[in-house]
Chains A and B, each alone.
Chain A
Amino acid sequence: MTAERNAAELYQEDKALEPSDSTLKAVLGATLTLMALAILWEVLVRQFQVPAWLLPSPSLIVESMVEWRSELVGHSMVTLYETLVGFALSIAISVPLAVAVVYSPLLQNTIYPILLALQSMPKVAIAPLLALWIGFGTLPKIVVVFLVCFFPIIVATATGLAAVPAPLMDLIRSLSASSLQTFVKIRFPTAMPHIFVGLKIAITFAVIGAVIGEFVGSESGLGYLILVSTSQSRTPLAFGALVLLTIMSIVLYYGIALVEHVVVPWAPRN
């Protein structure tokens, strides 16, 4: 009898859990809105005969993107490389450091204020110094990306590791679990959804960080391309680079979301 009732309860819950068609509607809605905006933009630019060096029409932007495709792809690869390496480096350092901070009150008291100070410094202001210290190659860009990603990841990880419900900690303690068991079986899995929140925030910053690095001084990358093409009044090409940056950012974000979906299927959906 109870099993029957349980099954009924479960059925209801299942229905609630089923992904509705709202995601599809959201995607469709966003696409239609974007298309409407592009059309409006096109019409206004043509109607008022806005010069292309000031504000190019969407059709002109697409045209120049096709024309400059090989350059755009090349520069995109540079920016993507800087972004991904900086981001990966940030994960590799932030996550273990967050673990250390959570387990050591001493580190928590000494490292956190430094991190906060570092985070409060505008990265745009640090970028020229990095160029001074480590030159104009890809490395200073990777460092900027690392710096912008670092904080959200470490804060999210530390928060997640501390998010184990008190009764669960009591339960684990009542079984005299070792620190390692507690970390592997409880703390780290509990932190995973939080870590992914940090990663998703960080990846959107990462692209910005790479562009900031490129603005300060470089010979390649989409940031460099924007700088050069605007200075030469090749505005459609600058817009083309901007479009690619936006797409890169969105694709990376959803890439992380996809990894999250696979690695942390129990994470709450937004």
Chain B
Amino acid sequence: MTQKTTAANETMMVGEGVGFARIRRITGYLVGTLDRFNNAKRAEENDRVKHGL
């Protein structure tokens, strides 16, 4: 991870500009994070609804 730190009010801050990693199954395999999805798969992931039992 790239570290970006700033001194805000003399406190060292870690993680500015760092997003959350969101791992999803794409077609049977996993993908490191949503950023790598193509546009169509991103839209599909966004539309997914949870299935109740």
Q: Do A and B come from one complex?
A: no
Q: Please report A residues at the B interface, Cβ cutoff 8 Å.
A: none
